[in-house]
Amino acid sequence: MNDHPTRSPRGGSALPARLAPVILAILLAACSSGTGGTPTPSGSAGSTPAPTATPGASGAIGHSTEPTALILRAEQAGGFVAPGFLVTRTPQFSLYGDGAVIYQLPVDPNAPAALGPPALGRAQMNGEQMDALLTFALNAGRLADAKPLYVNPFVADAPSTVFTVATDLVTKTVEAQALGLAADPASPDAPVLTALGRLWDLLSNFGDQVRRGNASDAGTYQPRAYRGILREGQALEQGIDWPWTDLSSDDFVASGDFGFRTAVLTPAQAMVLSSTPQGGLFDMQIVGPDRVPYTIALRPLLPDEKT
């Protein structure tokens, strides 16, 4: 990221009057009546389609405008799943300083078994749409006053839901373990956890907001690079021969929590394994040039990620 990013103007807690219709649009699209600004789960009855926001930046909430600057993210981490799944998982929602959004597309339940994680969509938000969403996330979504960590002692091995926000007003990460599962309704944290759960539903189903006109559809995300994850496998009866002449097994260097060997692959190198690797690939069997059996997986790199 640039050490001196351009920033939009700072604003106070009161929003400009001309932003009110945009805030209302987000609330109408994401909230049920009578919940006081709490998002309704995707597909809930009674939700009202929202009009498209008026273009133009209000500057109500200052933030970096750099295209690689992460402003808001929602993702899941951990859980009792295979390490190979963990290292290919991508965030469900990421918003960047220039208004670009990268979000997971829904999986067709009737489609054949996927070769990789869900594909990623791309959308574009204008300044007022960003302000509306950030205001909603910080206030109704409770990110502004949420604690860094919420422990759920009633559920083991469930993933944590992690929110990251970086604005002039608030910069923090909030992690909620097993969000929405077996929560104690009598806990003093219950109102915040409920708000975080509904914010998660809004962001993890962001395609609904695109369809409602709260962001412009920009097609499928085309990664500039991929992380290739290589690990030694068992003896193979089936497996493709090493397909690259410009990439060797020595280019993969041990890194990360699991000690997997990784390398950065270009889109052309990724497409050697699949013609449509946009969302990444689960483990594939491959035989190295040294005839050692490996598995290789791919994860697309997002604009804020280098390796």
Of residues 114, 117, 86, the one with CA closest to residue 104 = 117
CA-based R_g, the chain, Å: 21
7 domain-assigned: no
Instruction: Select from 275, 278, 272 the least CA-distant residue to 296.
Output: 272
Within this chain, do residues 293 and 154 fall inside the same structural domain, yes or no? no
Which of 203, 219, 235 is the last residue in one of the domains? 219
Tell me if 46 is assigned to some domain.
yes
Ranked by mean pLDDT, which of 67-76, 154-163, 270-279 comes out on top?
Answer: 67-76
Domain count, the chain: 2
201 lies in the same domain as 249: no
Binning pLDDT at 50, 70 and 90, where does residue 243 land?
A: very high
Mean pLDDT calculated for residue range 65-78: 94
Which residue, 165, 184, 219, sits at the end of a domain? 219
Look at residue 175 and tell me whether its pLDDT is greater than 80: yes
pLDDT for res 111: 62
158 & 94 share domain: yes
pLDDT at 52 over 80: no
Residue 184, pLDDT score: 82
Q: Which tokens hold the place of 8? A: 């939009």
Flag whether the pTM goes above 0.85. Answer: no
Residues 210 and 228 in one domain: no
Specify whether the backbone of 56 is left (phi greater than 0), alpha (psi in -120 to 50) or beta. left
Does residue 245 share a domain with residue 195? no
Question: Whole domain around residue 125: which residue ranges?
Answer: 17-219
Please say which residue of 219, 254, 277 terminates a domain. Answer: 219
Residue 7 phi/psi, 5° resolution?
A: -125, 145
Q: What pLDDT, on a 0 to 100 scale, did the predictor assign at position 27?
A: 47
Residues 147 and 282 reside in one and the same domain: no
- Shared domain for 125 and 228, answered yes or no, is no
**Are 228 and 211 members of one domain?**
no
DSSP state of 39: B
* pLDDT confidence bin for 256, thresholds 50/70/90: low
**Predicted local confidence at residue 11, as pLDDT:** 37
User: Do both 258 and 212 map to the same domain?
Assistant: no
Same domain, 214 and 261: no
Cα 6 from Cα 101, distance rounded (Å): 19
Specify whether 269 is located in the same domain as 154: no
